[in-house]
């Protein structure tokens, strides 16, 4: 009995984290290339709305996902164009776009509010879904959830095991050197910003067609973008760590409901802001650790040093800084 | 003269562009554009009552914008303004709750504004410390603290400050009317709130344009290294600018409590902090442009309330117009810089 409870709980964490994993991976890709896509909170909503509306009209969930991805990459394209080619502040453009795309989603989504539409059903993977415990946890989900798990591995492999990934990281760390070696840094940054946006759009589609089916104001995906942004930093710009962060958040979400039984006066939403203090804590820790390394004087207790080693990591060196190749 | 003509031409181009785009969006949504614009206008400036509603939205928006001018001047992106509004509102509520049984409502109303100023200011100073001492970018620190402030509000509403009997999203128990900011008898307009905002505006303009402090902020914003060599300490000025910005935002939060909602609600900031960021960007970071643009944005916000009732449209149209205006402005500025360089 207890065992069954555990598997259901864990499976719901894996499923609930799917859109956050996708969004965090997308943002990681784009930040690894040196571009902060601050528009992701609005992009997710726009992706969700477009995906739901498309799936509703065409009766095709696949086309819905495609449309959501297109919406996400279009917004990312705007962020990239304004910041990479016109040299505007990435933060300013991203921030304005996050508000504008959110409003666009609400405005155009109005006729689709609270109506029943298509949604993905579970698709257990043959044979392996029968494995005890692991089967129900990992292999009895819908396709977007499998996609989110697959993407964690794919992103890690692409970033750290392929020449293209090396090029991507080089542009994010030192665009000047990459340029000197003959890389077209602007095009590379633009390309990965769009790819990141595509995954952010997919995250939105996963919300409206899978995790929280349907559209409305509020949809329920509000704030996910900011959480994903925090998770990327908390995960030290590493795809696997970021995904773990997303699962940790989904765990907190599920536990929030459980904890509310224990502390009835604390609303469940309070537990869900945990990623933000954790993000700030990670950044401070990273800063302190780096200072300690530079001066070599600060002594830390062993446990603290272990935590630091796990958490501390540095941002891509050229993150948010425009590079002019002239 | 050439410059003036150029900027006039650009502004006309921008406004026409945004108008065309909004018309297209409306047509795409299957709504009559002329009617929509008419409702936006009549819903904000059609009567004295609507006009006072606009002014009541203009007050917190302009207060936040005033504060943001300080932080933008020193080169900080104070996205945490939203949380600073909330922190100010929470502090003001705390003080008003202490004054409920005191029998001196006017005194506690004044205390509430001082408390709101300090609450918002300290919340911002914390972000400033994280930036200067903790190595946390002010954007990430600010965003994180926004959500923390929001969570504290929810906890207070559902926990220690809940209504007797039931706790709900509708907020805390409303204060008795002696603790409300006085309004004109016929209209819901608060003259003291208006006065406070105008004082804050003039004060900001004076500090930034006429004092050494304003010069120092500008110097550090333009070139932190040179300012440091000149003997200015960027860290201290940054924390100070954050404090000023947070103080203004805290006043806006206090106004939301004492003048508008008369209680603490989950969405106490009404998103005025984020909207004020757009106002200041559109004003190109100049103080004297902010009140006009804030007024226009307040008109859009109040007018768009009519859209769901009259045309079954979502009120988010106002946000689309505001966002595209700012994007268009940013684009034109960047385009000019690019042309000049070539």
Question: A107 and B25 in contact by Cβ < 8 A?
Answer: yes
Query: ipTM exceeding 0.95?
Result: no
Interface contact A265-B159, CB threshold 8 A: yes
Q: Which two tokens stand for residue A279?
A: 């993000």
What's the Cα-to-Cα distance from A239 to each of A23, A31, A44, A158, rounded to whole Å?
11, 11, 19, 10
Q: What is the CATH number of the domain that holds A287?
A: 1.10.3470
Does residue A290 surpass a pLDDT of 80?
no
CA distance B286 to B280: 7
Would you say B136 and A284 are in contact if contact means Cβ atoms under 8 Å apart? yes
Higher pLDDT pick, A212 / A300: A212
Q: Using a CB-CB distance cutoff of 8 angstroms, which residues of chain A are in contact with residue B278? A: 96, 99
Using pLDDT thresholds of 50, 70 and 90, give the confidence band for residue B265. Answer: very high
Could you give the percent of chain B with pLDDT greater than 90? Answer: 65
A75 close contact with B: CB closer than 8 A = no
Q: Report the run of H or E that residue A252 belongs to, with start and end.
A: helix A239-262
Question: Which pLDDT does position A120 carry in this prediction?
Answer: 86
Choose between A199 and B12: higher pLDDT.
A199
What is the mean predicted confidence (pLDDT) over B98-118? 89
The model's pLDDT over B276-322, given as tens digits with 9 standing for 90+, comes to: 999 999 998 999 999 999 999 999 999 999 998 888 888 899 999 99
Radius of gyration of chain B measured on its C-alpha atoms = 21
Nearest to A29 by CA among A223, A162, A144, A143: A162
Q: Residue B323 is nearest to which of A99, A277, A284, comparing CB atoms?
A: A99
Residue of B nearest to A227 (CA): B144
Average pLDDT score over residue span B236-265: 95
By CB neighbour count within 10 A (0-12 exposed, 13-18 middle, 19+ buried), where does A72 fall?
buried
**B51 CA: distance to closest CA in chain A (Å):** 24
- B49 vs B335: CA distance, rounded Å: 42
Does residue A298 carry a pLDDT above 70? no
Nearest to A210 by CA among A76, A2, A12: A12
Note whether A69 and A202 are within 8 A (CB).
yes
Question: Among candidates A210, A215, A185, A184, which has minimal Cα distance to A14?
Answer: A210
Q: Is the pLDDT of residue A121 over 60?
A: yes
Q: Answer yes or no: is A156 within a domain.
A: yes
Q: Name the least confident of A76-80, A217-221, A291-295, B250-254.
A: A291-295
Residue with tokens 């709980």: A9
Which residues on chain A are in Cβ contact (under 8 Å) with B323? 96-97, 99-100, 103
pLDDT at residue number B179: 83
| Domains of chain A: total | 1
Classify A215 as helix, strand or coil.
strand
A302 CB-contact burial (10 Å; exposed 0-12 / middle 13-18 / buried 19+):
exposed
**Distance in Å, alpha carbon of B303 to nearest chain A alpha carbon:** 15
Is the predicted pLDDT of residue A1 greater than 50, yes or no? no
Instruction: Give a yes or no: residue B138 inside a domain.
Output: yes
Q: Is residue B276 assigned to a domain?
A: no
B338–A contact, CB cutoff 8 A: yes
Mean pLDDT in residue range A215-234: 88
Q: A59-68, B175-184, B195-204 — which is least confidently predicted?
A: B175-184
The Cα A238–Cα B277 span in angstroms is 31
The residue whose two tokens read 């300080």 is B70
Beta bridge partners of A3: none
State the pLDDT at residue B213.
92
The predicted pLDDT at position A75 comes to 97
Asked if B298 and B54 count as a contact pair (C-beta separation under 8 A), the reply is yes
Distances A87 to A79, A145, A186, A323, B235 between C-alpha atoms, Å: 11, 37, 11, 8, 27
Closest CA to B86 of B145, B129, B139, B126: B145
Residue count of chain A, please give it: 326
Contact assignment for A217 to B314 by CB distance below 8 Å: yes
Q: Count of domains in chain B? A: 1
Which B positions 114-153 lie with beta carbon below 8 A of chain A? 130, 134-137, 139-141, 143-145, 147-148, 150-151
Q: Please state the rounded mean pLDDT for residues A51-56.
A: 96
CB-CB neighbors (< 8 A) of A91 in chain B: 77, 79, 139
Which residue range(s) make up the domain with B136? 46-270
Q: Give residue B228's pLDDT band: very low, low, confident or very high (50, 70, 90).
A: confident
Q: pLDDT-based confidence at A272, cuts 50/70/90?
A: confident
Could you tell me if B18 and B328 are in contact, meaning their C-beta atoms sit under 8 angstroms apart? yes
Q: Under 8 Å CB-to-CB from B36, ≥6 apart: which residues? A: B26, B307, B311, B313, B317
Mean pLDDT, range A228-237, rounded to an integer: 89
A18: domain range? 2-311
Domain assignment present for residue B118? The answer is yes
Is A108 in the B-facing interface, judged by CB distances under 8 Å? yes
Residue B67, C-beta contacts closer than 8 angstroms, at least 6 positions apart: B78, B81, B84, B204, B244, B245, B246, B247, B248, B249, B276
Taking contacts as CB-CB distances below 8 angstroms, the residues of chain B near A259 are none
Token reading at B35: 């009617």
Cα(A26)–Cα(A232) distance, integer angstroms: 10
Confidence at residue A295, expressed as pLDDT on a 0 to 100 scale:
61
Residue B215 has pLDDT above 70, yes or no: yes
Both tokens of A260, joined, read 């509310």
Residue A101 pLDDT greater than 80, yes or no: yes
Question: What value does the mean pLDDT take over residues A93-97?
Answer: 95
Is residue B79 within 8 Å of A229, Cβ to Cβ?
A: no
In this structure, is residue B259 part of a structural domain?
Answer: yes
Model confidence at A300, pLDDT cuts 50, 70, 90, reads: low
Tens of pLDDT, residue by residue over B33-66, are 999 999 999 999 999 999 999 999 999 999 999 9
Closest by CA position to B45, among listed B253, B295, B336:
B295
A93 vs B313: CB contact, 8 Å cut-off? no
| A87 pLDDT higher than 80 | yes
Residue B163 has pLDDT above 80, yes or no: yes
pLDDT in tens, B149-161: 999 999 899 888 8
Would you place residue A134 in the very low, low, confident or very high pLDDT band (cuts 50, 70, 90)?
confident
pLDDT score of A296 more than 60: no
Enumerate residues 6+ apart whose C-beta is below 8 A from B114.
none
Q: What percent of chain B has pLDDT over 70?
A: 99
Domain membership flag for residue A321: no
CA distance, residue B329 to nearest chain A CA (Å): 11
Is the Cβ–Cβ distance between A49 and A1 less than 8 Å?
no
Structure-token pair, residue A58 = 């065409």
Give the pLDDT score at B1. Answer: 55
Does A311 score more than 70 pLDDT? no
The closest CB to that of A88, out of B25, B79, B330, belongs to B330
Q: Angle CA(A63)–CA(A64)–CA(A66) in degrees, nearest 5?
A: 60
Residues of chain B neighbouring A99 (CB-CB closer than 8 A): 274, 278, 319, 322-323
**What pLDDT score was predicted for residue A294?**
61
């Amino acid at each position: 009995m207890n065992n069954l409870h555990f598997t259901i709980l864990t499976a719901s964490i894996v499923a609930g984290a799917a859109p956050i994993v996708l969004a965090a991976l997308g943002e990681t890709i784009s930040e690894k290339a040196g571009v902060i896509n601050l528009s992701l909170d609005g992009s997710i909503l726009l992706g969700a709305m477009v995906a739901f509306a498309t799936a509703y009209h065409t009766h095709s969930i696949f086309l819905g996902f495609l449309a959501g991805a297109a919406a996400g990459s279009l917004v990312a394209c705007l962020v990239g164009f304004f910041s990479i080619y016109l040299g505007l502040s990435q933060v300013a453009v991203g921030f304005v776009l996050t508000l504008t795309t959110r409003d666009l989603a609400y405005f155009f989504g109005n006729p689709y509010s609270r109506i029943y539409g298509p949604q993905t059903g579970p698709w257990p993977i043959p044979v392996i879904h029968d494995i005890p415990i692991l089967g129900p946890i990992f292999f009895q989900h819908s396709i977007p959830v499998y996609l989110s798990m697959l993407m964690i591995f794919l992103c890690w492999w692409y970033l750290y095991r392929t020449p293209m990934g090396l090029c991507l990281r080089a542009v994010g760390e030192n665009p000047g050197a990459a340029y000197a070696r003959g890389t077209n840094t602007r095009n590379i940054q633009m390309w990965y910003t769009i790819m990141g946006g595509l995954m952010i759009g997919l995250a939105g589609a996963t919300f409206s067609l899978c995790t929280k089916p349907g559209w409305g104001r509020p949809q329920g995906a509000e704030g996910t973008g900011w959480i994903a942004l925090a998770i990327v930093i908390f995960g030290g710009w590493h795809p696997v760590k970021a995904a773990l962060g997303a699962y940790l958040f989904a765990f907190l979400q599920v536990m929030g409901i459980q904890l509310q039984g224990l502390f009835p006066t604390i609303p469940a939403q309070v537990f869900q802001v945990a990623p933000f203090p954790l993000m700030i804590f990670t950044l401070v820790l990273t800063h302190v650790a780096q200072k300690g390394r530079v001066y070599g004087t600060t002594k830390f207790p062993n446990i603290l040093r272990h935590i630091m080693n796990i958490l501390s990591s540095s941002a891509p060196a050229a993150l948010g800084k425009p590079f002019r190749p002239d | 003269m050439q410059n003036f003509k150029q900027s006039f031409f650009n502004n006309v181009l921008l406004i026409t562009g945004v108008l065309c785009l909004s018309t297209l969006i409306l047509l795409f949504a299957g709504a009559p554009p002329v009617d929509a614009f008419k409702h936006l206008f009549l819903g904000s400036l059609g009567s004295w009552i609507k006009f006072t509603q606009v002014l009541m939205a203009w007050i917190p928006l302009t207060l936040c914008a005033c504060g943001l001018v300080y932080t933008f001047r020193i080169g900080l992106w104070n996205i945490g303004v939203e949380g600073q509004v909330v922190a100010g509102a929470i502090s003001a509520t705390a003080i008003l709750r202490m004054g409920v049984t005191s029998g001196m409502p006017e005194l506690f109303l004044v205390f509430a504004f001082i408390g709101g100023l300090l609450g918002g200011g300290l919340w911002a100073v914390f972000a400033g410390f994280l930036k200067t001492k903790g190595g946390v970018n002010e954007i990430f620190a600010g965003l994180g603290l926004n959500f923390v402030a929001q969570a504290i509000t929810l906890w207070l509403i559902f926990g220690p400050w809940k209504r007797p009997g039931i706790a709900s999203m509708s907020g805390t128990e409303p204060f008795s009317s002696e603790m409300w900011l006085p309004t004109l008898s016929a209209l819901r307009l608060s003259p003291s709130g208006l006065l406070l905002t105008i004082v804050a505006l003039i004060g900001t303009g004076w500090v930034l344009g006429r004092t050494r402090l304003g010069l120092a902020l500008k110097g550090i914003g333009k070139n932190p290294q040179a300012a440091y060599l000149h003997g200015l300490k960027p860290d201290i000025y940054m924390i100070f600018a954050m404090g000023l910005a947070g103080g203004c935002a805290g006043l806006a939060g206090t106004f939301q409590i004492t003048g508008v909602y008369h209680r603490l609600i989950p969405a106490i900031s009404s998103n005025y902090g984020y909207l004020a960021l757009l106002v200041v960007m559109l004003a190109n970071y100049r103080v004297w442009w902010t009140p006009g643009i804030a007024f226009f944005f307040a008109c859009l916000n109040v007018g768009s309330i009519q859209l769901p009732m009259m045309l079954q449209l979502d009120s988010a149209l106002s946000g689309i117009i505001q966002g595209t205006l700012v994007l268009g402005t940013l684009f034109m500025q960047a385009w000019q810089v690019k042309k000049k360089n070539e």
